């Protein structure tokens, strides 16, 4: 009965909107929103455990004139992981899942595979051994109700990059598996479980989970495209729901953060919520169960990114303060980045100092260089054709070296751009194209045109040469 009353109280509280703007936040947005290049930003503030302020500036779609509001739904990205972790913890407290048991006890197809020894805690704390790159790889799956099951079935034989607890590495794979485990143990699909056991009790009436459909009311993401942006569609992906597919408003997510900090037994026990917001293990000193932890600042937070959308949710549990920030633009490489906007709004809402992110000229120069590289190669191809006689005249060891060495260097450069760089940032080139299409395009164009140029020089050098013929005596 106490649990039921607590849940009802949360539901009643949900009808009180966070509609009062925060002057400090509004002033910050007036400065930072234009600098970010984002069409709009929505936010909500929790102070002393109560939703105290909220608002939005800008447009749902750039140039549309349609205002963004604190009630506009956004795909919240990886903040969704905290919902998956909370759902798993509900089943832990119900005695249906053991946090330190192998997850293969519940997904038995993994029992004889390379991931057999990974525990549920290790999944939720990103210490399983699955890598960031593995988590960002594209896995085939349909968009029907079996999409998540199909994707996770494809992971059975995937060998984690590291041994469990060997290192901490953020990976979406952990939460895809956790989401499927939730379905198997609960007997409900992920979408319905989250709605019934979290969204409805908290009072998140304008929130839902990715269902494979497009929703016209959602904020439209804007992906970086050189010095502009490309709108994304509002299609939602069922297969990625546990890792990043909860859709919520700034007001609704503020209610969720309020619930996480209230110290009460409601959607989860107070002890269980506190456990989620503490370091999960010695191998995970800055991540709990679905939340990043900054012990120096006393904050618990998570960011999120989906194509064209970036989000941030930050809590100070000791003070019961929190801030939600949603931006409908993805960050570019040095240009149009939203990190300073999100962090500045968060600092203003929490009444904290923020010095900014500093100069981004290094990233900007690198991006400009990458963007100019394909043009350089095109110009070099034209130059090679106009100077074909000089190229064909090359001979001897030095001449052959000057012909063949560029091919070697451009092949290495192509490997760096299409393999090494994606590996270093933990995202395959296909994922880069999805989130940062301009960067993906210049990487591919630079890699391909470099090899084309060096090959073209060789073709020019060894075709069209005059062959000597014997003279008659």
394 belongs to a structural domain: yes
Which residue range forms the structural domain that includes residue 372? 361-462
**Which is nearest to 433 in space by CA: 442, 425, 424?**
442
How confident is the model at residue 439, as a pLDDT?
94
Q: Dihedrals φ, ψ of 91, to 5°?
A: -75, -30
Digit-coded pLDDT (tens) for 279-312: 999 999 999 999 999 999 999 999 999 999 999 9
178 belongs to a structural domain: yes
The tally of domains found in the chain comes to 2
Read off the pLDDT band of 2 (50, 70, 90): very low
Does 92 lie in the same domain as 28? yes
Q: What is the average pLDDT across 225-253? A: 93
How confident is the model at residue 27, as a pLDDT?
96
Digit-coded pLDDT (tens) for 108-142: 999 999 999 999 999 999 999 999 999 998 655 55
Look at 1-5, 45-49, 466-470 and tell me which has the smallest mean pLDDT.
1-5
Q: Could you give the CA distance from residue 276 to residue 261 in angstroms, rounded to a whole number?
A: 11
Digit-coded pLDDT (tens) for 157-169: 999 999 999 999 9
Does 254 lie in the same domain as 195? yes
**Which is nearest to 171 in space by CA: 118, 93, 113, 221?**
118
The residue out of 349, 377, 406 marking a domain boundary is 349
Look at 343-347, 405-409, 416-420, 467-471 and tell me which has the smallest mean pLDDT.
467-471
How confident is the model at residue 19, as a pLDDT?
60
Q: State the pTM of this model.
A: 0.90
Digit-coded pLDDT (tens) for 21-73: 888 999 999 999 999 999 999 999 999 999 999 999 999 999 899 999 999 99
Does 382 lie in the same domain as 324? no
Tokens representing 71 are 């009630």
Tokens representing 295 are 């012990």
CA triple 40-42-46, angle to 5 deg: 160
Does 234 lie in the same domain as 316? yes
Given a cut of 60, whether residue 14 has pLDDT beyond it is no
Higher pLDDT, 404 or 227: 404
How confident is the model at residue 465, as a pLDDT?
65
Spatial contact of 309 and 326, defined as CB atoms under 8 Å apart: yes
CATH code: domain of residue 108: 3.40.710.10
Q: Could you give the CA distance from residue 180 to residue 139 in angstroms, rounded to a whole number?
A: 15
């Amino acid at each position: 009965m106490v649990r039921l009353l607590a849940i009802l109280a949360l539901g009643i509280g949900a009808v009180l909107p966070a509609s009062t703007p925060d002057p400090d936040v509004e002033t910050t947005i007036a400065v930072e929103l234009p600098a970010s290049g984002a069409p709009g930003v929505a936010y909500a503030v929790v102070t002393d455990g109560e939703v105290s302020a909220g608002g939005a500036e800008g447009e749902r779609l750039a140039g549309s004139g349609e205002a963004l509001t604190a009630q506009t739904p956004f795909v919240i990205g990886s903040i969704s992981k905290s919902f998956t972790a909370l759902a798993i913890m509900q089943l832990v407290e119900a005695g249906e899942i053991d946090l330190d048991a192998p997850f293969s006890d519940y997904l038995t197809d993994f029992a004889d595979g390379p991931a057999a020894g990974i525990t549920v805690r290790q999944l939720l704390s990103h210490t399983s051994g699955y890598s960031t790159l593995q988590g960002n790889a594209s896995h085939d799956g349909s968009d029907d109700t079996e999409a998540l099951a199909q994707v996770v079935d494809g992971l059975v034989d995937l060998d984690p990059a590291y041994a469990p607890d060997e290192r901490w590495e953020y990976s979406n794979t952990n939460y895809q598996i956790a989401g499927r485990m939730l379905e198997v143990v609960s007997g409900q699909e992920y979408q319905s479980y989250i709605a019934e056991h979290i969204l409805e009790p908290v009072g998140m009436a304008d929130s839902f989970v990715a269902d494979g459909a497009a929703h016209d009311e959602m904020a439209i993401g804007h992906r970086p495209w050189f010095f502009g942006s490309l709108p994304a569609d509002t299609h939602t992906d069922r297969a990625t729901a546990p890792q990043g597919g909860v859709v919520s408003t700034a007001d609704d997510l503020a209610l969720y953060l309020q619930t996480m900090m209230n110290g009460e037994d409601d959607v989860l026990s107070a002890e269980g919520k506190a456990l989620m917001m503490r370091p999960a293990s010695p191998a995970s000193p800055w991540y709990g169960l679905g939340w990043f932890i900054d012990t120096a600042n006393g904050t618990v937070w998570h960011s999120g990114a989906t194509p064209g959308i970036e989000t941030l949710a930050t809590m100070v549990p000791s003070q019961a303060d929190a801030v939600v920030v949603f931006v409908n633009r993805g960050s570019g490489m040095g240009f149009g980045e939203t990190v300073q906007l999100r962090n500045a709004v968060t600092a203003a809402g929490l009444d904290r100092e923020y010095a900014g992110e500093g100069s981004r000229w290094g990233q900007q120069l690198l991006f400009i260089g990458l963007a100019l590289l394909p043009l350089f190669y095109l110009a070099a191809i034209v130059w090679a054709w106009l100077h074909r006689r000089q190229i064909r005249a090359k001979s001897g060891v030095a001449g052959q070296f000057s012909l063949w060495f560029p091919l070697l260097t451009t092949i290495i450069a192509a490997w760096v751009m299409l393999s090494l760089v994606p590996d270093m940032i933990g995202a395959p080139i296909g994922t880069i194209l999805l989130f940062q299409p301009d960067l993906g395009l210049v990487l591919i164009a630079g890699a391909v045109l470099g090899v084309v140029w060096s090959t073209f020089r060789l073709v020019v050098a060894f075709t069209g040469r005059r062959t000597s013929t014997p003279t008659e005596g």
